Structure 1
Amino acid sequence: MTERADQMPEAARDLRARRLEMLGDLTEDAFRMWRHHPVTRAVLLFLMDYRDSVAQRMLEQWRAGTIVLAEEHEARGRAAVAAEIAELRWEAMMAFYGREAGDA
């Protein structure tokens, strides 16, 4: 996903620590409940549909012979980010902040 907190410059680690502090009352149970909230489910569905739409557009351009390499790279990035956000897991978020999932 992204670099771990212990691999970042000190200023970035400080910023990440402040952000983690703001998330201090977030629990794994609350995260799970958020993932099942109707609005969250709608947003996650949108993200996956968006990813599929981007891929379909690129496939259509490829078939038509009109695809441009820079656009393909951008589309791949957009699709990957949408999927990464839609598939975000508690453990991955905690690892990003340099904490074990059970620490929160």
Structure 2
Amino acid sequence: MGVVHIILLKVKDSVTAEQSHDILKSVADLKNQLPDIIESVHLGLNFSARSKGFTHGFTMIFKDRAALEIYGKSPEHQKVVIEIIRPNVDDVLAFDYDAEDYSIPRL
């Protein structure tokens, strides 16, 4: 089924709406830069009162753990992390898991 990579960001209070948009756009652009590695990207701004201060989130789907590892070491990903994400966030939460399809009844 694939590997799911979830990232939650606590963007600094000093970050403008334009900078906030640029953070999400830079993550979305990774799909175009690494089309053979990233299967899909979904992202957005939090609207839940239960977010514990996390303001932005994104989910990426990869074919397998090897693809996620390649992504993590890629220069494109490293550039986004170092130049765009780290300077603008107070905290990051990463959560990765092997996806299973439980919508099909198992006997």
Fold match by TM threshold 0.5: no
- Based on CA coordinates, which of the two structures has the bigger radius of gyration? 1
Structure ranking higher in helix proportion = 1
TM-score of the aligned structures, taking structure 1 as reference length: 0.32
